[in-house]
Amino acid sequence: MLNLEKVGKVIFMKSNLRNYLRSKAHNTEPTVMVGKEGASDAVVFALDQSLLHHELVKVKFQSQKDKLKELSNELAKKTNSELISTIGFISIYYRASEKKLIEIPKSLLR
């Protein structure tokens, strides 16, 4: 079970786990690009497939940059993933899979 806290209907990932995942994503390249269509079904499908195969995915926003925050949250909701962070025009998403591709230290799971 991940280190999450429920507040109402919103789930918050603890900052130490969020920081760990952000550091793991540092050296990776974006695998999904968001263009002028925004969070279209094709983008949602691509992100869902990337999360299935990688668990931790970077998404680059090439347009719709004025709606970055809304689109990032929308993508997280549609893919049932956690938005780790947004820096510039790149967002990082995480969704655990049964394969456990990313090893999370036990100290972060408390």
pLDDT per position as a tens digit, 15-67: 889 999 999 999 999 999 999 988 899 999 999 999 999 999 999 999 878 88
In the chain, how many domains are there?
1
**Residues shown for the chain:** 110
Burial class of 32 by CB neighbour count within 10 A (0 to 12, 13 to 18, 19+): buried
pLDDT at position 10: 39
Positive or negative, the CA dihedral 31, 65, 12, 78 is negative
Mean pLDDT (the chain, rounded): 86
Q: Give the CATH number, domain containing residue 17.
A: 3.30.110.60
* Maximal C-alpha separation, the chain: 41
Backbone angle region of 88, left / alpha / beta, with phi > 0 → left and psi within -120 to 50 → alpha:
left
Question: What percent of the chain has pLDDT above 70?
Answer: 87
Backbone angle region of 103, left / alpha / beta, with phi > 0 → left and psi within -120 to 50 → alpha:
beta
pLDDT at position 9: 35
Domain encompassing residue 94: 4-108
